[in-house]
Amino acid sequence: MKDIINFLAECKQFFLATNDNGQPRVRPMGIGFEYKGKLCFCTSNKKKMFTQMKANPKIEICASNGNKWLRVAGEAAFNTEKEAKEKAFEAAPMLKNLYKLDDGVFEIFYFKNAVAVFNDMAGNTKEITL
């Protein structure tokens, strides 16, 4: 898990794909963190991304840094624990400008039933089951 979190931090930006009634939707993301051994992210429940993940939880992220890249595919699950939100604020303090712990909007989601795959230009592959 540490390798994944570190890689995402090095990339600074990565992309999340959801499904919108059969149409892929991709958007940039910038914050990933670990909470209780899960690869976590955050969003607003007012965004289409949230609605799409609720309707079809299959998601994937893709990140690249130089000649290396990472893909993680699995299902979105949601964590409503206050501590998970606090961990997000710790990982990215600027989130406090957007959300409050109990605002009814701030959501934490994580990967379940997921596989992460690291690749590089030399053809090396490393697979991690989450």
pLDDT digits (tens, 9 = 90+) for 15-58: 999 999 999 999 999 999 999 999 999 999 999 999 999 999 99
Class of the CATH-defined domain 2-129: mainly beta
pTM for this structure? 0.93
Domain boundaries, the chain: 2-129
pLDDT for res 9: 94
pLDDT for res 53: 98
pLDDT for res 96: 95
Cα atoms found within 13 Å of the Cα of residue 43, Cβ hemisphere only = 21
Which of 70, 41, 64, 79 has the alpha carbon at shortest distance from 128? 70
